[in-house]
A and B are shown apart, each in its own frame.
Chain A
Amino acid sequence: MDISMTRTKERRSNLSSKFKLNKRTAPYYFIAPAVILFVLFTLYPFFRTILLSFYSYERGRYIYSGISNYQRLFSDAIFFKALSNTFTYLLIQVPLMSTLSLILAVALNSKIIKWKSQFRVAFFLPSVTEMIAYSIIFSLFLSDKGLLNYLLSILGIESIPWLIHPFWAKVSIMVALTWRWTGYNMIIMLAGLQGISDTLYEAAEIDGASRFQQFLHITIPQMKPIILFSMLMSTIGTINLFSEPFILTKGGPSNSTISLGLYLYNQGFMNLNFGYASAISVVLLIITAIMSFIQMKAGGKDNGGL
């Protein structure tokens, strides 16, 4: 009797010591809140999106509909429009902006430049501006009688139908995106430039390499991982594009600027086609994964890639 009592007691204290906060258990307690929240608000919705993409939402209920959402996607002209728009932004805006960022970073990195930190702040400011404010400013700049057309009229150039014409509307979105994110990428690249050792340039100088050769054979290779990182971030941002077309053009005219993010919003939250919108999400996800993979592969093992 006595012995069994102590045994239970022992077992109990063993049990409670198992859950007591100590060096061994502490990490589990410390990550628990984050893990629970992740499971509930990221992991579960993630798998549910995939599941829902096989359902259609009718009168407040989800009804299993097989791959019909995906079949519909493949014959949906607006979806392909959104897809091609997204790739247009990716192929034109991201490289242009990255080049611009690199040029600015190199200019700012040169030793002769003073007030570096002030300039840095000025360049960074657009990226911290609240989305809606910035979209509103650009919608005004680019409007028919906006500032940009005024400046063009001074130069004697006919005004451009920025937000109204399918081609110029796309240009408008890219102009706005470039304004917002060039400085941010420039700061990232500047940090990379500052990390390149001076001795590399000094050695090249002794070997008689010109400035341009130095840029091509030292700066660019050394900067590869950083350029890669900044382009990857821009790519993910572009695939998710929403606010700019939402405010500037509503995706128009005739869907010439609609992005996947905006189309998803329209289908999901305007038309309440939750199943169909989920299928768009899945496509978005796959594209993100593929693009990230390609860019990391392109970087090569030594350059922070895969």
Chain B
Amino acid sequence: MVDSKNKIKTVLSYSIIIIGVIVSLFPFYWMFIGATNSSADIFSFPPKMIPGKSFMKNLTALNEQIDLQKVIFNSFFVAITYTIFTLTISSIAGYAFAKFEFKGRNYLFGAILLTMMLPGQATMIPLFDIMKTFGWLNSYKAVIIPGIANAFGIFLMRQNMLKVPDSLIEAARIDGCGEFAIFYKIVLPTMRPSIAALGIYMFMFQWGNFMWQLIVLNDSSMKTLPVALSSLVGLSRVDYGQVLLGASLSTLPVIAIFLILQKQFISGILGGALKE
């Protein structure tokens, strides 16, 4: 009796999960397959479910439409630079909020947390004006700099820095270590997992930061992969083999990074997002 009940439960749980996994993963499979097929094959009835032979053809055609090398470089450059800057600023500010007593600390931290709730669109128009005034439109700066001080990043680093024992910092002070050296040489090395998690998160965020990039990057030589792709979809005659190849290219780096570092990522993000 108990056994058969358990069996039903096992079967039920597995069925729910496996259906979920298929639904989650199938679109990826289909996208990669589509990248190797011609537009006609993609829309054929029944749809083609196996790799085709049009991969090279799609690649050449896509490269003619958008300068792939340039666009991919732009995407990587913007995402990596942004990640480095935002990690630096988040970790040093997070350290200050976690390990120092200073006037207005809690108010300031509260204010930063509130901006996490602030919809990006709510500041977009003045931000666009600022970019115009600075002459930053159509430059990497417009994509990278405005978001460098990231509330979520500061929050996550602060939560994790709280775990650093005060005695470690005090001991370094007694040894005559300077304040910056304490941060850089003693605290930061213990933060590697959090930095990795936040780094992946920020990279992914900037890689797919579509709306803002769409607004500030118009020049085709400055466009990132998502922005270039969206302009392809807007054309009157869309070649979906090409488009799916482009989509695959813009998804692959993120999937690769995620698969390699998924453990750090999931635990790191959850550690920050949830109170324990």
**Interface of A with B (CB < 8 Å)?**
21-24, 26-28, 30-31, 33-35, 37-38, 40-42, 44-46, 48-49, 52, 103-104, 107-108, 110, 112-113, 117, 119-126, 128-134, 136-141, 143, 145-147, 150, 153, 179, 182-183, 187-188, 191-192, 195, 225-226, 229, 236, 239-240, 242-243, 246-247, 260-261, 264-265, 268-269, 274, 277-278, 281-282, 284-285, 288-289, 292, 304
Q: Mostly helix, strand, loop or mixed at chain A's interface?
A: helix
With A and B bound together, what is the CA distance between A277 and B126 in angstroms?
Answer: 11
Closest residue to A33 on the B side, CB-wise? B89
A203 to chain B, nearest CB (A): 20
Q: Which of B14, B30, B123 contacts A137 (CB 8 A)?
A: B30
Q: Which residues of A contact B55 (CB under 8 A)?
A: none
What is the bound-complex CA distance between A207 and B21, given in angstroms?
Answer: 36
Query: What is the 8 Å Cβ interface bit string for chain B, positions 246-263, against chain A (1 contact, 0 not)?
Result: 111011001100110011
- A122 near B115 with CB under 8 A, answer no
The answer to whether B92 and A121 have CB atoms under 8 Å apart is: no
Among the listed A45, A126, A260, which residue makes an inter-chain contact with B130, where contact means beta carbons less than 8 Å apart?
Answer: A45
Q: A34-B154, A130-B226 are in contact. Are A288 and B274 (CB under 8 A)?
A: no
Given A46-B118, A150-B46, decide whether A179 and B149 contact each other with a Cβ distance below 8 A: no
Given A49-B125, A285-B119: A128 and B204 within 8 A (CB)? yes
- Measured in the bound complex, the distance between the Cα atoms of B183 and A35 in whole Å is 19
Interface residues of B in 8-66 (CB under 8 A from A): 9-10, 12-14, 16-17, 20-21, 23-25, 27-28, 30-31, 34, 42-43, 45-47
Q: Measured between C-beta atoms, what is the minimum distance from B38 to chain A in Å?
A: 14
Of A22, A26, A103, A123, most buried by chain B (CB within 10 Å of CB) is A26
Q: Is B72 an interface residue (CB 8 A)?
A: no
By secondary structure, the B interface counts as helix
Q: In the assembled complex, which residues on chain A have CB atoms less than 8 Å from the CB atom of B100?
A: 23, 26-27, 30
| Nearest CB of chain B from residue A196's CB, rounded to whole Å | 13
CB pair B121 A42 closer than 8 Å:
no
- Cβ–Cβ < 8 Å partners of B147 in chain A: 41
Is there an interface contact between B13 and A133, defined as CB atoms closer than 8 Å?
no
Q: Given A30-B95, A268-B124, are A188 and B274 neighbors across the interface (CB < 8 Å)?
A: yes
User: Could you tell me if B233 and A42 are in contact, using CB atoms closer than 8 angstroms?
Assistant: no
| Inter-chain contact B9/A121, CB cutoff 8 Å | no
Check A49–B273 contact: CB distance below 8 A: no
Max chain A Cβ within 10 angstroms of own Cβ: one of B21, B148, B270:
B21
CB-nearest residue of chain A relative to B208?
A130
Contact (Cβ within 8 A) A21 B119:
no
Interfacial chain A residues near B93, Cβ < 8 Å? 30-31, 33-35
Q: Is the CB of A45 within 8 A of B126?
A: yes
- The interface bits of chain B over 125-157 (1 if a CB of A lies within 8 angstroms of the residue's CB, else 0) are 111111000000000000001111100001000
Flag if B96 contacts A30 (CB, 8 Å): yes
Q: Which residues of B contact A182 (CB under 8 A)?
A: 20
A residues less than 8 Å from B204 (CB atoms): 128
Which one of B16, B95, B122, B208 contacts A282 once the chains associate, using CB atoms below 8 Å? B122
Cα A243 to Cα B211 in complex, Å, equals 7
> Given the complex of chains A and B, what is the CA–CA distance between A130 and B226 in angstroms?
8
Q: Contacts A45-B127, A243-B210, A281-B121 known; A130 to B251 CB distance under 8 Å? A: yes
Given contacts A42-B115, A113-B13, A121-B262, contact A31 B24 (CB under 8 A): no
Residues in B with CB closer than 8 Å to A49 are: 122-123, 125-126
Does B244 interact with chain A (Cβ within 8 Å)?
yes
Q: In chain A, what residue has the closest Cβ to B99? A: A27
